[in-house]
Structure 1
Amino acid sequence: MRVILCVFGAALLCFGCKSVKNSTYALSEGNFVIAFGSCNKQGEQNLLWDDVLANKPAVWIWGGDNIYSDTDNVREMRKDYEEQRYQDGYKEIKKHMDIIGTWDDHDYGVNDGGADWKMKKEAQELFLNFMDVPKHDPRRSQEGVYNAKTYHTTAGDVKVIVLDTRYFRSPLTKNLGDDGKRFMPNPKGVGTILGEKQWAWLANELNGSTATFNIIVSSIQVLSNKHGFETWGNFPGEVEKLFTLIKSSGAQRVIMLSGDRHISEFSQINISDLSYPLIDFTSSGLTHTYEAYSGEENPYRVGEVVIQKSFGLLKLNMKNHRVTMEMIGNGNRVLNELEQGY
């Protein structure tokens, strides 16, 4: 199914043969292209890497659960990362595009894990090694894997802000009911997702941004909040704080990317005093999905849920300030699409 919010002329992507090491990226038809995905079991074949390559993105963003390694054994986690690192398809990805990203619980080391995880420092080092983060990078000395990177193009900048929703996250409130939901929202104002330092950092990144597009990456969903699993909705005060910051910062064209759920969907909310709808594009998973999915409430959903294995693709038109968001399945099939103008 394709959901069209703002129709514009289709532009075939032919992203220029530009090394990711260059400071300025060439555009084709005015597009800067980003691919992203999550929920990738290193022991299962990923059939999508060739499709990612076919779309010639400038950037690949890991959205979390980049490997599955629920362990407190450093050797085991290192082994799992190395298995992923040396897969043929992924090696080609590394050759052709820049790679950034965050983690989620299964590459953090414990299901639904948060600030109390005993191995988080060791897990951070292994994650940064997998991401080839230089030894002098600030992430090597800070707590948490959050980071921002600005991509310069001939028609404007794209800023990608990658959040860490694990390292500082307060305990979740377990749901004791019989409705099948795992968690329920904390009382408003109780607990944090990002922690004080990361919130201050995020405010600085948004307040100082002059980018044409600002992409915020969260491993867990920001908008969908009724399913009873992990979501920003379990911390209502944090959601309100994020919306307030996006509005007050003046950062242009903020788009949110998320993963975790083993389904893919578009969610959208209209926020007062924000001139455009805020979209949360969830893409999950790469090697396995929630095949038994039979429906769940999401008051912000746009269009239909996709349960096929897929990755997300963003085509950011830097000149016309429009974006095409696509869920791409095996064989480079477009499974769902959303277009938005700003």
Structure 2
Amino acid sequence: MPFRTVLLCCVLWLAGALGQSAAAQQVVAGPMPGHSAMRAVQVWLQTDRSAEARLAFRPVGSDDEYRVTEPVRTDAGTAFTAEIDVTGLEPGTEYEYRVLLDGTAQESELALRFQTQPLWQWRESPPDFSFALGSCSYVNQPEYDRPGRPYGGDYQIYDAIAEAEPDFMLWMGDNFYYREVDWDSRWGMYQRVSHSRQLPEMQRLLTGMHHFGTWDDHDFGPNNSDRSYALRDTAKEVFDAFFPNPPFSGAGGGGVMSYFEWHDAGFFLLDNRYFRSANDRVTGERTVLGRAQAEWLIDALQKSNATFKFVVMGGQFINSAELFENYAHLAPGERREILDRIAAEDIPGVVFLTGDRHHSVLLKMDRRGEYPLYDWTVSPLTAGPGTPHDGEGQYRVEGSLFTERNFGRVEVTGPRDDRVATLILHDSNGVERFRYEIRANDLRAGS
């Protein structure tokens, strides 16, 4: 090869290499605010390649100089995700922020903001707030989906949730769906969650509010999976890499259970997969939560001063039909024990929020001498809708059943001595389809 040709090839290669290295890293999902405390917040994001990520932040409306967080390096091992701790904040304050990648501020068409919890205790009534909730979020990928009609759809629902402007979103399981090509490798699991989280229609929702989540079978492993799943610890690693939940577990290690408070409400996010015995097992103890987690739940509910104690899990709790993956079918003794202990401990304010069933319904269990227990199932977001089976209507509140794609919203309002939780169901376009009020004063023994 002539010398001039070799020289030209070298120059072109060098120019290409320099151009590639000079190309700016980008945020491909998020940023997404997660756990919010009074003086600290976590923010999650995902980049397209390795980068040193920081946040520059200041109170909204302030002329103060931006403060900058400590750097967090995104790398290929965790699909270039990062959870950035923002500390030294003030209670009850909304902050604006920018993402810095390798020192360069990233442009965003969306307003980037997060909020801290207010210090209202001993001072005033708790502030009003609202949150959205849903389960079963399926994002199509035809080359790996089952043949036939696409299972996912109506992605406009994510914009509809953002339009409602809740304070946070509660993801109640099946938040992404592992396929056969995913659940037998760590790399495949990270790829699946990345594909779902990078959906363009989801970005406004991710950025616009805080987010918390627990899982069910499809974001834990294969369909109907349990504690025997060989990659359950890998599943937890992947889940933790994409959900900036509070760094807490009350089950002695393992699982994704967590707890957080928003104003005067407590949220007990349970794990119904990591400790679960096989569905069809006929010997030994049958369990969904496991002994350690069930004991923690009773302790935490008893200790809590929250007005509403929202118990969140991937599958229904109140449903009495002994079918399929209903709690009453899988672990009837454990379910009965939890119900009995909530009554014996005289724990007020308990409301169950659940997912999984591909339809939405409010169940109300009246109890002799005790207040009624509610279980609001909200599902699906974008997965295929379904209907309940015969025999599942025992506790159903009239008019609450909805069998199309949907999301829920809860408004918690009123003075300290008369708080009300209003349950509102919306279809995938944001149209209201159901509304129901639960008064805190009606969730006490003797009420």
Classify the TM-score, shorter chain.
0.7 to 0.9
Name the SS of the counterpart of 1:51 in structure 2: helix
The 1-side partners of 2:93 and 2:209 are apart by 10
The higher-RCO structure (CA 8 Å, 6+ apart) is 1
Name the SS of the counterpart of 2:274 in structure 1: coil
Q: CA deviation at 1:90?
A: 2.7
Q: Given residue 276 of structure 2, which amino acid in structure 1 is its aligned partner? A: R
The 2-side partners of 1:75 and 1:28 are apart by 48
Q: Given residue 263 of structure 1, which amino acid in structure 2 is its aligned partner? A: H
Q: Where does residue 146 of structure 1 map in the other structure?
A: 257
Q: Where does residue 294 of structure 2 map in the other structure?
A: 199
The 2-side partners of 1:194 and 1:94 are apart by 29
The 2-side partners of 1:94 and 1:253 are apart by 30
Contact 1:190–1:237 under 8 Å retained in 2: no
Query: For 2:419, which of 305, 321, 324 is the aligned residue?
Result: 321
CA deviation profile, 1:63-119 (whole Å, cap 9, x unmatched): 100000042221111111111222234322232222111110011111111111111
Unaligned runs of 5+ in 1: 1-15, 175-185
Contact 1:170–1:192 under 8 Å retained in 2: yes
Query: For 1:223, which of 293, 318, 323 is the aligned residue?
Result: 318
Q: Where does residue 430 of structure 2 map in the other structure?
A: 332
1:113 aligns with 2:225: yes
The 2-side partners of 1:203 and 1:209 are apart by 10
Name the SS of the counterpart of 1:61 in structure 2: strand
CA deviation profile, 1:157-200 (whole Å, cap 9, x unmatched): 110000000011112238xxxxxxxxxxx79x941111122122
Do the aligned partners of residues 289 and 224 (structure 1) sit closer, same or farther apart at CA in structure 2, a change above 3 Å counting?
farther
1:32 aligns with 2:126: no
Give the 5 Å matches for 1:241-260. Answer: 241-260=337-356
Q: Identify which range, 19-28 or 233-242, moves more after superposition.
A: 19-28
Name the SS of the counterpart of 1:116 in structure 2: coil
Q: Where does residue 50 of structure 2 map in the other structure?
A: none
Question: Aligned pair count?
Answer: 307
Q: Where does residue 301 of structure 1 map in the other structure?
A: 396
Q: Where does residue 9 of structure 1 map in the other structure?
A: none
Query: For 1:22, which of 116, 130, 147 is the aligned residue?
Result: 116
1:167 aligns with 2:261: no
The 2-side partners of 1:31 and 1:244 are apart by 32
Identity of aligned residues (%): 28
Query: For 1:290, which of 385, 399, 402 is the aligned residue?
Result: 385
CA RMSD of aligned residues (A): 2.8
Do the aligned partners of residues 245 and 93 (structure 1) sit closer, same or farther apart at CA in structure 2, a change above 3 Å counting?
farther
Larger Rg: 2
CA deviation profile, 1:100-142 (whole Å, cap 9, x unmatched): 11110011111111111111000000011110358xx245992
Give the 5 Å matches for 1:180-191. Answer: 190-191=285-286
Q: Where does residue 173 of structure 2 map in the other structure?
A: 64
Name the SS of the counterpart of 1:315 in structure 2: strand
Q: CA deviation at 1:295?
A: 5.3
CA deviation profile, 1:242-274 (whole Å, cap 9, x unmatched): 212322444432111111111111111012342
Name the SS of the counterpart of 1:142 in structure 2: coil
Name the SS of the counterpart of 1:301 in structure 2: coil
CA deviation profile, 1:15-72 (whole Å, cap 9, x unmatched): x994544122899996321211111112245221112112221121111000000422
Contact 2:245–2:258 under 8 Å retained in 1: no
